[in-house]
């Protein structure tokens, strides 16, 4: 094996040891010792031996004692030596290969970690972009809506002007709602959606949805009904807006995809939860699509064929339901219909405070007399916005000063000791967070009321704002009623108010009932469809088509559309369809 002729190899143990690789000798003698002392059951060891030509061979050596003296000391041993050089080479190659693989895995893992970090950074950049973008969009919108509100207070403006102002106001609000909708999807993608938990009137919420869906169902000749079973609470605690959005989406789909039969919304209590089920007698959804329809942008052939929608509705709905503590389950039989069901916690509660409703309906005219003067500092870098709030407050009787950044705010606070500060949070030089913290640390800084003005899209900024020391925060664009409400609450002020009209109509809104009799039913359907999706152009197109035959009705409808009173428009259309049926 080692290249020696048999007789040329000295068969002594010493000669054997001389041929062992120096690095292996201790291992070999250790294995022998362990065997002799009984520590191991057999002698078995792998090591390198030098060949006659000086090369090294790997050897597997196995042995066994065959003769011992009376004391048990080994006398003679027999054994085998097997050349395992080839196996060891393969082992080494395998081991090198394994090391290489491990290195590759390490590298790949590092690359993936870097890619993940890059994706997360991109996501953060997107969130920041959205947050900034919404700030940029809302700031001018703040000025548009605010000055329109301010001009609405001007008694010199004639009725015609007030009507135009109202249109500016409603268009601005509509734009704001659109910005918010787009942000919804982005927020979900960024994992930043939160749900609110406030008391609301479940009956009211459901009947508003019912009215809206009934018109859609009836225009398609479908039967529609809300089926309540068990004792359902009227006032519950939860997120009314998200629930509304989910139900309108599910019911909207049911009506959209069903051509005949019935669409129902079923409700039943389940302890503190309420179970909602939207059922239709439409085309149904094949089992292989039933989970995929919840993926973003996924539509079945039926969905694509409709040519409406984006495939986002169910994704958003599912996410909202999950956040509210439930899960949407779908069951469906092709050709028979589908049911979308979910249950969410909606514990019964007391009626929400009336205050919130009434204050929003009153218009503050002035501070009541016999109250000490109230000094208000308006901190806002945007000159238009600053001027707007200043005007609004002075109009009502506050003493107002402005500051263009946090530094000026601190100086003004020290020199002038205002009672109340409106604090924009994003400003050059010194932002609202730092300014608020510094003012709070100054003498008198613990008493002044500070309310943040924020255009940020993301709700979690709230906690940072409150942590900086603000008493409250209001989103931009600023709602006049909320502005006075917050000031009144924090400072204990009393205002003289002008009550809004009992039915909360805005100026310029037509009071005469609409006469929709005689209008072509297909035009009524087109108008209802467009109104449901808040599609101004669509509505105006339908109105244009009826103008020649019904100029008066067209004029009234136009005013409703321009003031974005889709709710009234739909109610009128529904009333008319009820009368036609009767
Ligand atoms: P969209 O309706 O805008 O296409 P959705 O996310 O709401 O998007 O729905 C995704 C898809 O699921 C639809 O395109 C449609 O194929 C299918 N779908 C949803 N609701 C129903 C239903 N009630 N009946 C049949 N198919 C439905």
Q: In a mutational test of the pocket of ligand 1, which residue from 254, 256, 262, 299 has the highest number of ligand atoms less than 8 Å from its CB? A: 299
What's the gap in Å between 255 CA and the centre of ligand 1? 11
**pLDDT for the residue 181:** 58
Out of 251, 314, 317, give the residue to mutate to test ligand 1, the one with the largest number of ligand atoms within 8 Å of its CB: 314
CA distances from 478 to 98, 147, 468 (A): 65, 11, 21
Highest mean pLDDT among 250-259, 446-455, 532-541: 250-259
For residue 368, the model assigns a pLDDT of 86
Which pair of structure tokens corresponds to residue 123? Answer: 């996501």
CB of 257 closer than 6 A to ligand 1? yes
CA atoms within 13 A on the CB side of 68: 9
Tell me, using a 6 A CB cutoff, whether residue 296 lines ligand 1.
no
What percentage of the chain exceeds 70 in pLDDT? Answer: 89
pLDDT at position 125, please? 80
Ligand 1 center from residue 293 Cα (angstroms): 7
Answer for the pair 149, 486: CB distance below 8 angstroms, yes or no: no
Substitution site in 261, 303, 333 for ligand 1 pocket (most atoms within 8 Å of beta carbon): 303
> Distance from the CA of 297 to the center of ligand 1, in angstroms?
10
pTM > 0.75: no
74-123 pLDDT, tens digit per residue, is 888 888 889 999 999 999 899 999 999 999 999 999 999 999 988 888 87
Going from the Cα of 262 to the center of ligand 1, the distance in angstroms, rounded, reads 17
| Average confidence (pLDDT) over 379-388 | 88
Q: How confident is the model at residue 581 (pLDDT cuts 50, 70, 90)?
A: very low
Least confident of 18-22, 31-35, 189-193: 189-193
Check if 299 has its Cβ closer than 6 Å to any atom of ligand 1: yes
Distances (CA, A) of 107 to 32, 100, 120, 185, 468: 43, 10, 20, 35, 44
What are 422-459's pLDDT values in tens digits?
999 988 899 999 999 999 999 999 999 999 988 765 55
467-505: per-residue pLDDT in tens? 899 998 888 777 788 899 899 989 998 888 875 433 343
The finding on whether 252 has its CB within 6 A of some atom of ligand 1 is: no
Angstrom distance (rounded) from CA 136 to CA 134 = 5
Pocket test for ligand 1, best of 293, 295, 307 (most atoms within 8 A of CB): 293
Q: How far is CA 287 from the centre of its chain?
A: 28
Which atom number of ligand 1 is nearest to the Cα of residue 311?
8
319 lines ligand 1 (CB under 6 A): no
Q: How far is the CA of 70 from the centre of ligand 1 (A)?
A: 92
Better-predicted residue by pLDDT, 339 or 489: 339
Mean pLDDT confidence for 387-392: 88
CA of 189 to the centre of ligand 1 (A): 20
Nearest CA to ligand 1 atom 12: 293
Residue 384 C-beta-side C-alpha neighbours within 13 Å? 13
- In this prediction, residues 520-524 reach a mean pLDDT of 85
For residues 433 and 456, the answer to whether their CB atoms sit within 8 Å is no
Region of poorest pLDDT, from 359-373, 391-405, 514-528: 359-373
What pLDDT was estimated at residue 504? 40
- pLDDT reported for residue 566: 75
pLDDT above 50: residue 565: yes
Three-state secondary-structure class, residue 67:
strand
Q: What percent of the chain has pLDDT over 90?
A: 40
Min mean pLDDT across 66-75, 237-246, 559-568 is at 559-568
Output the pLDDT for position 44: 93
The β-bridge partners of 472 are 451
Residue appearing with tokens 């009314």: 240
Pairing of strands 198-201, 223-228: unpaired
pLDDT at 307: 65
Query: Any idea what the Cα angle at residue 304 is, between residues 301 and 310, rounded to 5°?
Result: 135
């Amino acid at each position: 094996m080692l290249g020696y002729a048999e007789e040329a190899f000295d068969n002594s143990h010493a000669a054997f040891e001389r041929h062992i690789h120096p690095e292996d000798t201790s291992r070999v003698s250790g294995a022998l010792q362990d065997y002799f002392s009984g520590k191991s059951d057999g002698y078995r060891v792998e090591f390198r031996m030098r060949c006659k030509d000086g090369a090294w061979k790997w050897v597997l050596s196995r042995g066994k004692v065959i003769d011992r003296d009376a004391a048990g000391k080994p006398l003679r041993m027999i054994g085998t030596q097997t050349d395992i050089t080839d196996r060891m080479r393969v082992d080494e190659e395998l081991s090198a290969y394994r090391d290489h693989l491990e290195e590759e895995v390490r590298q790949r893992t590092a690359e993936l970690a870097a890619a993940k970090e890059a994706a997360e950074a991109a996501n953060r950049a997107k969130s920041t972009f959205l947050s900034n973008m919404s700030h940029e969009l809302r700031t001018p919108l703040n000025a548009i809506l605010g000055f329109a509100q301010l001009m609405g207070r001007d008694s010199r403006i004639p009725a015609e002007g007030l009507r135009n102002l109202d249109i500016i106001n409603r268009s601005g609000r509509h734009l704001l709602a659109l910005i918010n909708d787009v942000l919804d999807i982005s927020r979900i993608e960024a994992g930043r959606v939160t749900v609110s938990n406030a008391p609301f009137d479940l009956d009211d919420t459901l009947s508003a949805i019912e009215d809206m869906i009934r018109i859609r169902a009836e225009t398609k000749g479908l039967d529609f009904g809300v089926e309540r079973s068990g004792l359902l609470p009227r006032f519950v605690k939860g997120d009314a807006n998200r629930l509304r959005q989910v139900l309108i989406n599910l019911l909207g789909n049911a009506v959209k995809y069903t051509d005949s039969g019935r669409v129902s919304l079923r409700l039943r209590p389940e302890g503190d939860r309420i179970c909602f089920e939207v059922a239709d007698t439409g085309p149904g959804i094949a089992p292989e699509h039933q989970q995929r329809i919840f993926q973003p942008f996924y539509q079945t052939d039926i969905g694509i064929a409709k040519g409406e929608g984006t495939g986002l509705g169910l994704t958003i709905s599912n996410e909202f339901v999950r956040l509210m503590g439930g899960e949407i389950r779908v069951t469906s039989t092709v050709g028979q219909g589908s049911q979308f069901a979910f249950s969410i916690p909606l514990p019964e509660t007391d009626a929400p405070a009336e205050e919130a409703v009434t204050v929003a309906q009153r218009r503050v005219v002035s501070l009541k007399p016999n109250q000490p003067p109230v000094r208000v500092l308006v901190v806002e870098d945007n000159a238009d916005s600053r001027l707007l709030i200043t005007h609004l407050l002075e109009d009502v009787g506050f003493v107002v000063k402005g500051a263009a950044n946090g530094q000026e705010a601190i100086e003004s606070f020290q020199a002038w000791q205002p009672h109340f500060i409106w604090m924009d949070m994003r400003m050059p030089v010194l932002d609202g967070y730092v300014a608020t913290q510094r003012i709070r640390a100054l003498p008198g800084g613990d008493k002044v009321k500070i309310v943040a003005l924020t255009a940020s899209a993301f709700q979690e900024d709230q906690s940072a704002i409150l942590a900086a020391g603000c008493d409250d925060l209001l989103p931009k664009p600023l709602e006049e009623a909320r502005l006075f409400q917050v000031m009144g609450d924090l400072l204990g002020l009393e205002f003289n108010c002008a009550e809004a009209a009992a039915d909360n109509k805005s100026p310029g809104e037509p009071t005469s009932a609409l006469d929709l009799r005689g209008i072509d039913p297909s035009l009524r359907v087109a108008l209802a469809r467009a109104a449901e999706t808040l599609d101004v152009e669509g509505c105006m197109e339908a109105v244009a088509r009826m103008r020649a035959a019904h100029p008066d009705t067209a004029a009234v409808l136009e005013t409703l559309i321009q003031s974005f009173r889709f709710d009234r428009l739909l109610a009128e259309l529904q009333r008319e369809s009820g009368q036609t049926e009767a």
